[in-house]
A and B are shown apart, each in its own frame.
Chain A
Amino acid sequence: MTKRIPFDVRLRKNLPGWLIMLPSLVLFSFFVWEPLLESVRLSLYTAEGMRLVQFVGFQNYLDVFQHPDFWPAIRNTFYYTLWSLAIGFLVPIVLAILINEIRRGRSFFKVGIYLPNIVPGMAMVLMWGFIFKPSNAGILNVMLSALGIHAQPWLTDPHLTIPLIVATLTWQGAGATALLYIAGLQGIDPELYDAAIMDGAGIWKRVRYITVPNIYNLARTLLILQIISVFQILYQPLVMTNGGPNNASISIMQLVFRYAFQNYDYPKAGAVSVIISLILIALTAAYNKLNKEKDM
């Protein structure tokens, strides 16, 4: 039985903590939580511009569900996420392990893999747009034609659009993630490797029994962060394909963008945003639950 600590003592004890948190609490409530709640409220009304007009319950949600682009957008967004896990999740881990194994020139490779990350997002998508241009004028096709290969449709092939966009995302983002993994790898006690080598473990065994278990927690966090971030993919498809051809690459965030900035229909944009966050909350919760079971 613990004795209850008097309120004033608790207050005195915790006050500095609250004071330190206060600025961020204020900023968070103003810039994050209030807008978040406001957009939930918005999604339940009709509006003229941003002026709420009438409470309509879940009508906006029903309308959004019935929009011809809604289900393709949801489907594609899951494709983006799955492809980004298939293409993008392992790349930084492999890069990190390779760079960690290098004895000379490690900094050179670290800088090298990080460089794509400093290209501004818009410049990146425009550049890849030129590279993937589906004609004899596209950069990739010019290179292929030198090898005697016909011009390929690239982004205009509905089956390739999403994997290619994910490949450009990976090109840009893998380096930064790899740096996190490298930091993780460097935290591993080198004695573990020395011991393993003495026991006669080859590189695969060392990776499997030392490296992977040691970065497992980091990888788990980065996995869920990647899902959350790729799920909100917007400007890459917006600029590279405008969601086309025939909705092959439209993402759910693009639907928010269209409702808000093409139709000025903010309540429906709010409704889609709420749907997105519910999906992400559900995914994260499910994921955490699975992981907890595994941990036990």
Chain B
Amino acid sequence: MAVSAVNAMHRLPDLSRVPVVDEVGVNERVARFQTRSIKSASKIEALKLILSMIDLTTLEGQDTPGKVRQLCQKAIHLHDSMPGLPHVAAVCVYPTMVGIAREALQGRDINIASVATGFPSGQAPLSVKLEETRLAVESGANEIDMVISRGAFLAGNYQLVFDEIMAIKEACGDAHLKVILETGELGTLDRVRRASVLAMHAGADFIKTSTGKIQPAATMQVTLVMLQAIRDYFYETGRMVGMKPAGGISQSKLAVHYLVMLRETLGNAWMTPEWFRFGASSLANDVLMQLQKQATGVYQSADYFSKD
């Protein structure tokens, strides 16, 4: 059993055998996660955990070195007037900005994630994608967020997508590889599940919902389907894979619902920044405002928190 599990890791699995997703069941389950009563003490812990899981992100055409430095400052100094806060897990930038982030985060325990492989569309030749990945890693990225070729996936060319992920994984070296499925373009939960299985077998360290450039971005529904795929993959192979919902999560309350879902689907082992991330830009400030509210009892204003 163990031997076949190791082999299975680098062979395209038979995707026709991937379980079919019960969409109604998923909706009902997701609705349940949102009704859990969370007491104040747990809420504060959850909020701090969320902060530590954030990949603080800026992925705009208008990004400048100054903007990236500012983002790094934000990552280091979330809200200094509140002692005892964790720092975010990583900053996430374009490959050309990795060097600048590296400099700005010198000596800090904050990872640098870089998108690569023709982000966000993934419409680039493999050689370019590999070159971009190597460049990002050489510039100092320790996490690579790649996008899959949705066009190939939707055309049924699974082997090509699979081989691409494997090749990128190799180009990453020691850097962690997060595979973005761009679920908003996949259309159905069944395809989300299939793409998750494919990515994990190809060697993804993390699977990630979205680029943030396509609506809908992360939803609880697709995240649940991906978490279930991770769970079944873990039972099958014994390898843990991380999860990163990204895009559209800007409210603390929603982020807490995601944690509830994570806890009830994968359990405590995944409740760390090592295995779960939020890709977000404005979530951090909302979490900080909620923490301040818990401390003072007064609802907060964005005026008193650094811009992100």
Asked if chains A and B come from one complex, the reply is: no
- Residues of chain B whose beta carbon lies under 8 Å from any beta carbon of chain A: none
- Residues of chain A whose beta carbon lies under 8 Å from any beta carbon of chain B: none
